Chains A and B, each alone.
Chain A
Amino acid sequence: MISARAVALALFASGLGLGTLADRAPPTPPGRDAQGRLQLQADFHVHSFFGDGAIAPWNLGREARRRGLHALAVTNHNQVFAGRLVRWLNRRWGGPLVLVGQEVTNPGHHIIAAGIERAVDWDAPAATIIADIHAQGGVAIAAHPERPFWPSFDPPALATLDGAERHHPLVLKRPDGQAQLDAFFERARAHRRRPLAAIGSSDFHTAAMMGRCRTLVSVTEPSEAAVLQAIRDGHTTSRCIPPGSGDLPAPAREPAIALGGVLGWLGLLGLILLPGRRRPAR
């Protein structure tokens, strides 16, 4: 007689088996833009464990690769420890390019600092934060610049930003989300002579997919320095990619994925609810 708990274990193992078949993350060859430059797909706003992200540093590179990303910036709130760890691991494991970053989190403005080595003081005006980021050789990107954040970005800040998030999951949630991000982008462009990089980011924490919104970066070579220079030069385009595309499977619509997930879920439910066999004390 097979116990119910054994059935639960078998269900969990089946889900894990199906997941094992899918657990591949081959690198996606980068494309070329109209000028023949390498075009990398990047997510410059990713949160990691050892922060308020759910995915551990030792898994982040692989998950980024699974989403077809060639580069990412690890941007935990007001600290760079996790970013440095992710970069160190991926340099050794041949993972995607990793920029050490920080989401400089201030009540009035959030700024992505990418390509820095030390955390930037958050308690300062936006223009001062941007100057601090530049002093380290990094780039400053306005994070999800919705209307409530606009007052913090005064003309000096707008003039010195390197990029602004023009595609972000909030555009998928709010009817006027895209309009707000577009309005900020145009306002920032009007205050500067050099280009402003259009950035698409997932603002990944958990329960979503990294790279849902992403940046296409045209670079001369696949290196961290080249990515940063491309942002400074404004050689980027941004977009949110539709669910069901190759890089963003939609489990609810794809039976093969759904089956593995459901089997594993049912198995875990059984393991939690069903009592185990009690062994006598030795």
Chain B
Amino acid sequence: MLAPGATYRRLLGGPLPVGWRAVVQRPALIALVIGAFVTLTNSGQLLPTLLIGSSLAWAWVPALQLLIASGLITLGSRGRLPLSSALDLFFRGHGPWSLWLLVAGAVLMTRLPEPAGGRVLPLLLSGLIAVAWTSWLVFAFCRTVLALPIWRALLGTLVYQALVWGAAYLYVGAMTFRLRPFSKFAGFLG
């Protein structure tokens, strides 16, 4: 996570996993981390029912990232690597967000059963570190694994982040009906 270019070059020089396991295992770990965040911040413990239920519910997040990353890799890789291997390498770059979830989870756990209160805003702002760090890792992936020139790697990074955060905006808007244009269509689900 600290020297992504060198790390990706080293990994490319060795054997890479292929097949469905390579595609699924890291996104599954991400779903588990999100599920653990939910159970730890709501009960202070790893309750299996809450862990499994929350991991299943929030699995759409890594699944969406998988979909967007697949598009990025397919358009950018020109067949240099099997898609499954490239996805495995891509998801090695999820460390910043997984770490942020664990740190935020630890902070919130210590507050239970009180609500997070004034800690929410600083925690959310600290997510900007994860955004920047992830952008760096995605750029390094585009440059090293996909062997894209600088401007195309920058474009790929911007497009990936725009799609992921655009999806997040759509989710929050649709689920809360408090963001435009969803506020105009409030209640269509009910």
Q: Chain B nearest CB: distance from A66 CB in Å?
A: 8
Q: Which residue on A lies nearest to B7, using beta carbons?
A: A275
A208 in complex: contacting residue of B40, B50, B102, B116, CB < 8 Å: B116
Chain B residues contacting A63 (CB-CB under 8 Å) are: 42-43, 50
Q: Is the CB of A120 within 8 A of B187?
A: yes
Contact in complex: A51, B99 (CB < 8 Å)? no
Question: Smallest distance from the beta carbon of A121 to chain B beta carbons, Å?
Answer: 7
Q: Is B72's beta carbon under 8 Å from chain A? A: no
Contact A121 B187 (CB under 8 A): yes
Contact: B106 with A23, CB < 8 Å? Answer: no
The reply to whether B42 and A281 form a contact with Cβ atoms under 8 Å apart is no
Mark out the residues of chain B between 77 and 120 whose CB falls within 8 Å of any chain A CB in the assembled complex. 85, 95, 98-99, 102, 105-106, 108-118
Q: Which residues of A contact B15 (CB under 8 A)?
A: 278-281
**B residues near A282, Cβ cutoff 8 Å:** 18-19
**A149 close to B (CB within 8 Å):** no
Interface centre among B18, B43, B85, B95 (most CB of A within 10 A): B43
Q: Are B115 and A173 in contact (CB under 8 A)?
A: yes
At the interface with chain B, which of A30-38, A218-226, A246-254? A246-254
- Can you name the residue of chain A whose Cβ is closest to the Cβ of B116? A207
- A195 close to chain B: CB less than 8 A: no
Q: A119-B190, A251-B109 are in contact. Are A105 and B178 (CB under 8 A)?
A: yes
Q: Which residue of B lies closest to A208 (CB)?
A: B115
Query: Is B175 part of the contact surface with A, judged by Cβ < 8 Å?
Result: yes
Question: Nearest Cβ distance between residue A186 and chain B, in whole angstroms?
Answer: 25
Interface string of B118-160 (1 = CB under 8 A from A): 1000000000000000000000000000000000000000000
By a CB distance below 8 angstroms, the chain B residues around A248 are 113
Cβ of B64 within 8 Å of any chain A Cβ, yes or no, is no
In the complex, A54→B29 CA distance in Å?
18
Partner of A52, one of B51, B106, B176, B187: B176
Q: Is A44 among interface residues, defined by CB-CB distance under 8 A?
A: no
Contacting residues of chain B (154-179) with chain A, CB-CB under 8 angstroms: 172, 175-178
**A61-92 at interface with B (beta carbon < 8 Å):** 62-63, 66, 76-81, 84
Instruction: For chain A, give the interface size range.
Output: 35 or more
Q: How far is the CA of A81 from the CA of B95 in the complex (A)?
A: 34
Q: How far is the CB of A257 from chain B (nearest CB, A)?
A: 5
The verdict on A163 contacting chain B, using a C-beta distance below 8 Å, is: no
- Tell me if B33 counts as interface (CB < 8 A to partner A): yes
Taking a contact as CB atoms under 8 Å apart, the answer to whether B177 and A55 are in contact is: no
Q: Given A79-B177, A264-B40, A265-B102, does the pair A20, B48 have CB atoms closer than 8 Å?
A: yes
Task: Indicate whether A127 reaches chain B with its CB closer than 8 angstroms.
Answer: no
CA of A269 to CA of B112, assembled, Å: 21
Contacts of A250 in B (CB 8 A): 112-113
Q: Is the CB of A16 within 8 A of B190?
A: no
CB-CB under 8 A for A122 and B177, given A249-B113, A251-B45:
yes
A160 within 8 A of B: no
1/0 per residue B30-50: CB within 8 Å of A? 001100101111111111111
Check A279 against B176 for contact (C-beta < 8 Å): no
Question: How many Å lie between the Cα of A119 and that of B177 in the bound state?
Answer: 12
Instruction: Check B4 for interface membership: any CB of A closer than 8 A.
Output: no
| B106 A265 Cβ-Cβ under 8 A | yes
B189 at the interface (CB under 8 A from A): yes
Contact between chains at A54 and B46 (CB < 8 Å): no
Given the known interface contacts A105-B178, A260-B46, the answer about A56 and B56 at a Cβ–Cβ threshold of 8 Å is yes
Using CB atoms, name the residue of chain A closest to B118. A173
Q: Given that A122-B177, A265-B106, A268-B33 are contacting pairs, would A56 and B48 also be in contact in the complex, using a CB cutoff of 8 Å? A: no
Q: Are B46 and A122 in contact (CB under 8 A)?
A: no
Report the Cα distance A176→B151, complex, angstroms: 55
Instruction: Select one of A173, A252, A281 contacting B112, CB under 8 A.
Output: A252
With A59-B54, A78-B186, A123-B186 already in contact, 14 other A-B pairs whose C-beta atoms are closer than 8 Å: A16-B51, A19-B46, A52-B176, A77-B176, A172-B115, A208-B42, A208-B113, A208-B115, A250-B112, A251-B43, A258-B44, A265-B109, A278-B14, A281-B18
Binding site for A on B (CB under 8 A): 14-19, 29, 32-33, 36, 38-51, 53-54, 56-58, 85, 95, 98-99, 102, 105-106, 108-118, 172, 175-178, 186-190
4 pairs of A and B residues whose beta carbons are closest in the complex: A251-B44, A119-B187, A119-B190, A80-B190
